[in-house]
Amino acid sequence: MDKQSHYPTWQNKSLKLEKKVGVVGEDIVPTEEKHTLSTEELKAIKARLTKARTQLILDKPFLGNLVLRLPLIVADSWCKTSATDAKSFYYNADFIDSLNNHQIKFVLIHEALHCALTHFARRGNRTKHKWDLACDFAINPLLVKEGFHPPIDVPIFQQYVGMIAEEIYPMIDGNLNQEPMDQHLYDDQANDDSQQSEGGMREDQLQQEPKPKSKASEGEQSSASSLAQQPAKLQPDEIEKLASEWQKNLASSAQLAQQAGKFDGEFAKLIDFFLQPQVLWQSLLAQYMSTFARDDFSYSRPSRRTGEAILPSLKSHQIDIIVAIDTSGSISQEEVNEFVSEVSAIKSNLRASITLLACDDKLCEHSPWRFEAWDELQFPASLGGGKGTNFNPVFDYINAQDSACDVVIYFTDAKGVFPEVEPNYPVMWLIKGKECTPWGTRIQLN
């Protein structure tokens, strides 16, 4: 199997490689003739990287200062294109040599943004392959929109412009046969990926003597004999420290670019988002719901039996909440379960009754479900759905009731038909995705 098939996005179809067969134990492994670059050639390639980086500092100071934070290190055969461990920029010299100056800038910025946006610290329990793709899909359309030229065959999905990796991740098909454009070396599965091939161990692994992990700096990478080995994985405490450092780098680079008058466009919006304190949607929901609590002190005149003094007394009333769930098919069962459990916890703390509605383009035939303050909010066995999204049936139902509710909470991706007239009661939209709402309070879920 051709090794290039592992990285289809980087293939140069005009290049035809002659193959030979090498025998490794009982495995037959196709290998390719390799051209060993001379010291002078390596220096020339590194000079091209340095030149591109300098141009970025002058033309795009925000991005240039981020790129400058990563030492340039030429890597051994484990690196097929480029890579980062959130500490250095690793590159395959042959790959960089095949790019023009515009494409080199694209690759440099791509790796720097992985670090600056702390992708290495945000994966959590997500699948590594899908997360790596989500991170690439978040960065690449943004760079293209800003006028940078990607290497040939790099897929650009314009629908992801302005979205962060957490928003893109659930939109990616788990069976997508696509590889990231670079190697992300910053978690516990990174080293495993490069150690295997279809024929067992790679031939170059058997022929080479074990080498210690390279700690060479940019200035020490000057000859073919000093090609860097794959770095060790990051430890949890190291990830936390690097995340803090990169957030400072992000802030300082943005400040330098603002002073130079060259900080605007999509990057300004994105960085403003990442530099703001992030609050979980659960916390925002709890804060919002607490404003509707009717627990308060009353100074109404008490009974004469208690005396002439008027002392404050605590009065408590139950609030009524309408919870609507979009069942059009774009919301996963796991997300619905998390949402329902969070609302249940808030409900019990606020002494609130819940009326649960399920709707795609019409209300579920079993709606509504009613839960009193002392009841546990449980997700019904079946809600149906799967059709288009129309929000009108929910509000038509609410408007037809004898008494108004205190607040409506709608869990959706906001891709549907909204009522033309805003209701006279508060509405809070919990949104999965990047869609906007014409009225009401919007809280971003992911």
Contacting residues for 393 by C-beta, under 8 A, at least 6 apart: 359, 361, 362, 363
What pLDDT, on a 0 to 100 scale, did the predictor assign at position 443?
A: 80
What pLDDT, on a 0 to 100 scale, did the predictor assign at position 284?
A: 61
What percentage of the chain carries pLDDT values higher than 90?
20
Q: Is it the case that residue 393 has pLDDT exceeding 80?
A: yes
Say if CB 385 and CB 327 are below 8 A apart: yes
pLDDT tens-digit series, residues 224-249? 457 889 998 888 889 989 988 988 88
User: Would you give the DSSP letter of residue 52?
Assistant: H
- CATH classification number, 281-294+315-444, choose in 3.40.50.410, 3.40.50.880, 3.90.420.10, 3.30.1490.20: 3.40.50.410
Say if CB 83 and CB 183 are below 8 A apart: yes
What pLDDT, on a 0 to 100 scale, did the predictor assign at position 55?
A: 94
| Residue from 2, 3, 188, 151 nearest 77 by CA | 3
What pLDDT, on a 0 to 100 scale, did the predictor assign at position 392?
A: 93
What pLDDT, on a 0 to 100 scale, did the predictor assign at position 252?
A: 84
Contacting residues for 150 by C-beta, under 8 A, at least 6 apart: 103, 106, 140, 143, 144, 156
Mean pLDDT of 188-199: 40
| Residue from 330, 406, 325 nearest 373 by CA | 406
Mean pLDDT across the chain: 74
What pLDDT, on a 0 to 100 scale, did the predictor assign at position 5?
A: 37
> What are all long-range contacts of 177-180, with beta carbons under 8 Å and residues at least 24 apart?
178/8, 178/9, 178/133, 179/6, 179/7, 179/8, 179/9, 180/132, 180/133, 180/135, 180/136
**183, β-bridge pairs:** 83
Beta strand spans in 289-351 (E): 296-298, 313-315, 319-326
> What are all long-range contacts of 190-194, with beta carbons under 8 Å and residues at least 24 apart?
190/85, 190/233, 191/230, 191/232, 191/233, 194/78, 194/230
- The C-alpha atoms of residue 181 and residue 110 are separated, in whole angstroms, by 9
Mapping DSSP to helix (H, G, I), strand (E, B) and coil, where does residue 331 land? Answer: coil
Highest mean pLDDT among 105-109, 215-219, 369-373: 105-109
- At which residue do the structure tokens 């606020």 appear? 350
pLDDT tens-digit series, residues 147-187? 889 987 787 888 888 788 888 888 888 777 888 888 988 76
Mean pLDDT of 356-383: 78
Helix (H) / strand (E) containing 370: strand 369-371
Which pTM does this prediction carry?
A: 0.56
Task: Name which of 1-15, 52-66, 431-445 the model is least confident about.
Answer: 1-15
Mapping DSSP to helix (H, G, I), strand (E, B) and coil, where does residue 352 land? Answer: strand
- The C-alpha atoms of residue 307 and residue 303 are separated, in whole angstroms, by 8
Q: Where are the domains of the chain?
A: 3-275, 281-294+315-444
pLDDT tens-digit series, residues 291-306? 665 555 455 555 555 5
- Residues 31-66 as b/e (b if ≥16 CB within 10 A, e otherwise) read eeeeeebeeeebeebbeebeebbeebeeebbbbbbb
Say if CB 104 and CB 91 are below 8 A apart: no
**Residue 385 has which token pair?**
């759905």
Task: Name which of 14-18, 35-39, 202-206, 384-388 the model is least confident about.
Answer: 202-206
| Ramachandran class of 162: left when φ > 0, alpha when ψ lies in -120 to 50, beta otherwise | left
What percentage of the chain carries pLDDT values higher than 70?
65
Task: Name which of 50-59, 371-380, 420-429 the model is least confident about.
Answer: 371-380
| Residue from 32, 31, 15 nearest 23 by CA | 31
- The C-alpha atoms of residue 93 and residue 82 are separated, in whole angstroms, by 9
Q: Is it the case that residue 343 has pLDDT exceeding 60?
A: yes
- Confidence bin at 113 (pLDDT 50/70/90): very high
